[in-house]
Amino acid sequence: MKNKTSVLPREGEAQPSRCPDNSAFKQQRLPAWKPQLTIASVLSSFFVIGAFCLAVGVCLVLSANSVREIQIDYSDKCSDCSKLRENSSNWNKECHCSINFTIKEDILGDVFMYYGLENFYQNHRRYMMSRSNAQLLGRNVNIQRSYCAPFSTYRNGTPMAPCGAIANSMFNDTIDLFYNRNSSVIQVPLLKTGNSWWTDKNVKFRNPESYNLSSAFAGTARPPYWHKPVYQLDEEDERNNGYVNDDFIIWMRVSAFATFRNLYRRVRRVQHFTEGLPAGNYTFHISYNFPVTKFKGRKHVILSTVVWSGGSNPFLGIAYLVSGTAATLTGFVITGIHLKLRKKKTYFQKQ
């Protein structure tokens, strides 16, 4: 075996220094500030933070309680349609139901209509991944290599547009609102566009480029549970079709909880509804298409206003109240401990 060459320095040569460079950073000579935690500064911090959180929490709770909201569960009120939808062979049969309700006081301001679902889990990993973001951007992709299976292609090889379990399970009930004024029935004008996030509408979802949508989606087929193809989701507004349809975009943003609500429509403030919804008798006309009996779910329709802090959700206000109360109680506990220790110290000094 060959001898290894020695790497030791020769006699008389200076050994390289292993000390850090003589700089303020490496020698830890940078100016620093070390707070002096006195009893006054600690207690004032706890009490100031507690007072701030309590004040913000009270404002948020009062704001959330000022939201006007009407929620109607129509799962049982449309029981005939629910039984019809239990059999998947009746998918092409229409079923309608009506629900009457009364608004006792005027609902002023912007009024939003939501649909709510209970016991519908969208947070399953396979369900959340069952989509093709490249396809939703209007690109010509091979969806067989995506996570859309088994909702990617039909047996004859025709690709689904859009593919995936999320799109296939899209909420498809149609809800109309009517105002019963004296002896006349007035349909409340509802806005179906402008309800999704700007980034979703203009960045995350795009239609394939073509001179018309029907040719853009040529060679594809609708998902199995859909009643019409994606380019006919809105027959009244051509710009609200395809992957940029507001109802479709809102549904594709999955919820983290089994009980959730999605924005469905906004009341258009014209004619009798310039100030909002006047008090009186109203009727929901519902085209029942979305089955919920199999997974023991419930369906709601919600009319609600919003305030500066959002909708009717007191969670954030309660969280601030709990945090403020905890900080204030901690301050009192520290004060008690400090007074007790100071009293003992004074006693021993006198001894």
Q: Work out whether strand 276-277 and strand 174-181 pair parallel, antiparallel, or are unpaired.
A: unpaired
Model confidence over 210-261: pLDDT tens digits? Answer: 888 889 898 899 999 998 999 999 988 888 999 999 999 999 999 999 999 9
The partner residues of 184 in beta bridges, in order of sequence, read: 181
Q: How much is the average pLDDT of 335-339?
A: 90
pLDDT the model gives residue 349: 62
Residues 6+ apart with CB under 8 A from 142: none
Residue 323: band (very low, low, confident or very high) from pLDDT cuts 50, 70, 90: very high
Task: Give the largest Cα separation in the chain, rounded.
Answer: 113
Q: How much is the average pLDDT of 288-297?
A: 90
Whole-number Å distance between alpha carbons of 221 and 266: 31
Q: How much is the average pLDDT of 116-138?
A: 93
Q: Whose CA is closest to 214, among 236, 234, 235, 230?
A: 230
Tokens 């404002």 appear where?
Answer: 59
The domain spans of the chain are: 69-310
Whole-number Å distance between alpha carbons of 242 and 220: 12
Model confidence over 106-122: pLDDT tens digits? Answer: 999 999 999 999 999 99
